[in-house]
Amino acid sequence: MGTAKIAIRIEDGLLERVDRLVSSRVYPGRSRAIQDAIADRLQQMDRGGLARECAKL
């Protein structure tokens, strides 16, 4: 899968938290940390939608 370059605005406090993860070598860089955070959130949203659909059964 390819990647696209985008520009975002992020609150100072959030960026500081991302930078701490990078400094402690949890992530190799900001981009990877933010990609993982977005992917995790999208998965949570997908699971929430599935749970709502199952509740209808």
**AA identity, residue 55:** A
Taking the domains of the chain in order of start, what are their residue ranges?
12-55
Q: pLDDT digit string (tens) for 1-57?
A: 799 999 999 999 999 999 999 999 999 999 999 999 999 999 988 888 766 777 776
Tokens 């938290």 map to which residue? 17
- Write the CB contacts of 36 (distance below 8 Å, at least 6 apart in sequence): 27
3-state DSSP helix/strand/coil % of the chain, to nearest 5: 65, 0, 35
